[in-house]
Structure 1
Amino acid sequence: MTTVVLAPDSFKGSITAADACAALAAGWRDVDPDVVIVARPMADGGEGTLVAFAAAVPDARRMPLTVAGPDGRAHGTAWLRLPPTVDATGGTGVVELASTSGIELLGDDRVPWDAHTTGFGQAIAAALEGGVTRLILGIGSSASTDGGAGMLAALGARFLDATGRTVAPGARGLAAIQTVDVSGLRALPPGAAVVLSDVRTPLLGPTGAAAVFGPQKGFASGDIPGVDAALAHYAAALAAALPAADPAAAGAGAAGGTGFALQAWGARVAAGSAEVAALIGLGDAVAAASLVVTGEGSYDGQSAAGKAPAHVAALAHAAGVPVALVAGRVASDADTSAFAEVISLADLAGSADASRADPGRWLRAAGRTLAAHRPEPTLQRRTHRR
């Protein structure tokens, strides 16, 4: 009997990893109704992290709440409670920045100077109030470049200007900070906090949060030096209050500097894809599989450097199991040599726009194609185009 592990990341802006699994599974069953499907939707800390844990962990519970979105408007979201374990007697809280302070929540209306991470901090506070003894924090898809100040403020820190007033939220208020009061800052839970991120950039400079990620959040090129200077001022003020704050640390620039704030709080930054895979038991599932299928929206030249499909492929190769790639599009610079079979939804649909318009349809078609060919370890790699 064929056992297929489905472990795609989300197809960003198109379909969630869990829904991608469902569509691939339906297509495979069109051809082979007896197949055993093991769904392990993947994430790297960004959009889809909560869904990945909810799908893979029995008895996980969504805990709804309302937070301040990245533009300050009330936004309904949830954090996820994972059941208690031996080393986390109160359970683990999973909080996703994408669904609380993420850029997708703004649509096309970017507010780069004013967007903040308050909602993310509010969700973390809710998880702590819910009694969790460990936190898993996914920080991809941020809308802001506030250095995580909004998050820390929601956890009890105070950022004051020269007159003793609270500074404005977002990047706009960072340069005005004169005093950081952390006397009311919540402590880490006893089981600590793990931050999921595949971004390794520092907070400041030409490879930092403002320079690398500022433009996608709406900053003009002329804004970047000022934002970087504001982050530097904020970093110095925070380091005076929290000595663990290190703007040069790997991952400090993730999520507009939220990685920096979390490290200052005492959290540990981990490679998102690898940590998620370990936490959802992907390695054991892969070892028992006949085939592994992974994918993401756009597989390009950067995908092999630590993104979810690359990690899934590495696990499959280590177990001697063939792995196939299904992507919304496969860029010309992408290295696909790790995969026994490669399917581009854009090629199946005739264009990228057509595949994005109905991703479930074309993922189901990809599932049928894979079921018909059933890649084996010794098969030459095939790329399907139409």
Structure 2
Amino acid sequence: MTRFLFASDSFKGTLSSERIAQILGQEAGKVFADASCSSLPIADGGEGTVDAILAACGGERVHVTVDGPMGEPVDAAYGILPDGRCVIELAAASGITLVDRGALDPLRASTAGFGQLIRHALEHGAHDIFLALGGSATNDGGMGAMRALGVRFLDADGRDLQGRGEDLSDLFTIDVSGLIPEAYMARFTVMCDVTNPLIGRLGATAVFGPQKGGTVETLAQLERGMVGYARIIARQLGVDVASIPGAGAAGGMGAAAAAFLSARLVSGIDCLMDLAHFDELLAECDYCISGEGRADAQSLDGKVLSGVARRCAAAGKPLIIIAGSLGEGAEGLLDRGASKLVACVGPETPIEEALAYAEENYRRAAASVFAEIAEVCSR
């Protein structure tokens, strides 16, 4: 019997983790009559994290109507696990996929809806909460979310700021006296998909601001505001968020969680794999197959593929990565523990074509992988 573990991230906009596992199972069955296939939908703290954890652990979704990143109402959900722990995903309420690309604006975007989800969970008895950060449309330093929990952000004239990215520049003082009491009694763990700091050339604004619609001018404004924000937090709350790895996650939401909620910041992929008992599943397989839409240098830094590769290397299990495409730096995954990298399409394939035929391309790549494994097993 040949045993496989399928633990792939979704291919954003085309293939879900569940569909990928189905395709892999079908293709494995064509080659291995005795194939034993286990699957674990997986994510790194970004979009799909709640789905992945609920699929692995069981539990239920709680739906809430909240403010989207640009203020429009959205239906968002968080997860309650069977043991009462709670998982809340920022992308569900404040995610970049909720905004048309032409409407992205980090000056106006807010994490208010994410805060509303947290408040709903707290007010309904949650006390051990995992906050999954990633895939945000925001660069507000988490002010919108904290405002939803009762924190006031004031300008020099004592006027309330709304908690958008543009308000960072006007922030003068913070009033935490209204933070809801349930927040003090809960334990928060932040699942980060990046380790970027809050400010600087590797910070939230410089690295992720452009993809959220930031121009050169607006990014400069946001960075100045974020520097001031960090100083005010340090002065008033005694937390040096500028030095915390992962504080820049989700446009600075990591910093807000650490400063206002005393949250512990951890690797999103490692946290998910621990919750889902990944190591136990891995111990029972002969081959692990993982992947994501595009593997490149960013895949090496706290993302799904680096986390899975590290666990496979430690367990001595071969890992085959099937990615939608391979970009510069992807070969670094071979040094992290991957045994083989396979691309569904070549670099010359137009993105429109790759997206239109994503399932066919993936199935073809999967078939070639299992054929090669079969050849190795027959030697």
When normalised by structure 1's length, the TM-score is 0.89
Q: 1:341 to 1:208 in 2, by over 3 A?
A: closer
1:233 to 210, 221, 228: 228
In the alignment, residue 330 of structure 1 is paired with which amino acid?
Answer: L
CA distance in 1, matches of 2:349, 2:165: 42
Q: Secondary structure at the match of 1:10?
A: coil
Residue equivalent to 1:88? none
CA distance in 2, matches of 1:289, 1:204: 42
Q: Deviations over 1:83-128 (max 9, x none)?
A: 11xxxxxx11101111110111112121221001001111111111
Does the aligned pair in 2 maintain the 1:322–1:377 contact within 8 Å? no
Identity %: 36
CA distance in 2, matches of 1:352, 1:219: 23
Residue equivalent to 2:290? 294
Greater displacement, 339-348 / 16-25: 339-348
Residue equivalent to 1:250? 245
Q: What are the residue-to-residue correspondences of 1:362-377 with 2, within 5 Å? A: 362-374=361-373
In the alignment, residue 231 of structure 2 is paired with which amino acid?
Answer: A
CA distance in 2, matches of 1:212, 1:106: 19
CA shift, 1:306, in A, is 3.1
Q: 1:376 to 1:119 in 2, by over 3 A?
A: farther
Does the aligned pair in 1 maintain the 2:31–2:374 contact within 8 Å? no
Q: Secondary structure at the match of 2:299?
A: coil
Residue equivalent to 1:149? 143
Is it true that 1:202 corresponds to 2:197 in the alignment? yes
Residue equivalent to 2:172? 178
Residue equivalent to 2:158? 164
Q: Secondary structure at the match of 2:189?
A: strand
CA shift, 1:354, in A, is 2.8
In the alignment, residue 198 of structure 1 is paired with which amino acid?
Answer: D
1:102 to 95, 120, 123: 95
When normalised by structure 2's length, the TM-score is 0.90
Runs (5+) with no aligned partner, structure 2? none
Residue equivalent to 2:305? 309
Does the aligned pair in 1 maintain the 2:153–2:163 contact within 8 Å? no
Does the aligned pair in 2 maintain the 1:322–1:376 contact within 8 Å? no
CA shift, 1:206, in A, is 2.5
Give the paired residue count. Answer: 373
Q: Secondary structure at the match of 2:130?
A: strand
Residue equivalent to 1:214? 209
Q: What are the residue-to-residue correspondences of 1:280-359 with 2, within 5 Å? A: 280-335=276-331, 336-337=333-334, 338-347=337-346, 352-359=351-358
Structure 1 stretches (4+) deviating beyond 6 angstroms?
A: 375-380
In the alignment, residue 119 of structure 1 is paired with which amino acid?
Answer: G
CA distance in 1, matches of 2:258, 2:275: 21
Does the aligned pair in 2 maintain the 1:113–1:171 contact within 8 Å? yes
Greater displacement, 134-143 / 178-187: 178-187
Does the aligned pair in 1 maintain the 2:5–2:39 contact within 8 Å? yes
Q: Deviations over 1:326-369 (max 9, x none)?
A: 00001254215343343211149965533322323333333333
Q: Secondary structure at the match of 1:201?
A: coil
Does the aligned pair in 1 maintain the 2:5–2:37 contact within 8 Å? yes
Greater displacement, 23-32 / 125-134: 23-32
CA shift, 1:270, in A, is 0.4
CA distance in 2, matches of 1:277, 1:342: 21
Greater displacement, 197-206 / 134-143: 197-206
Residue equivalent to 1:23? 23
Greater displacement, 105-114 / 182-191: 182-191
CA shift, 1:302, in A, is 3.1
In the alignment, residue 203 of structure 1 is paired with which amino acid?
Answer: L
| C-alpha RMSD of the superposition | 2.5
CA shift, 1:30, in A, is 4.0
Greater displacement, 166-175 / 138-147: 166-175
Residue equivalent to 2:46? 46
Runs (5+) with no aligned partner, structure 1? 85-90, 381-386
Does the aligned pair in 2 maintain the 1:10–1:47 contact within 8 Å? no
In the alignment, residue 226 of structure 2 is paired with which amino acid?
Answer: L
CA shift, 1:377, in A, is 8.5
CA distance in 2, matches of 1:349, 1:17: 25
Greater helix proportion: 2
CA distance in 2, matches of 1:245, 1:340: 40
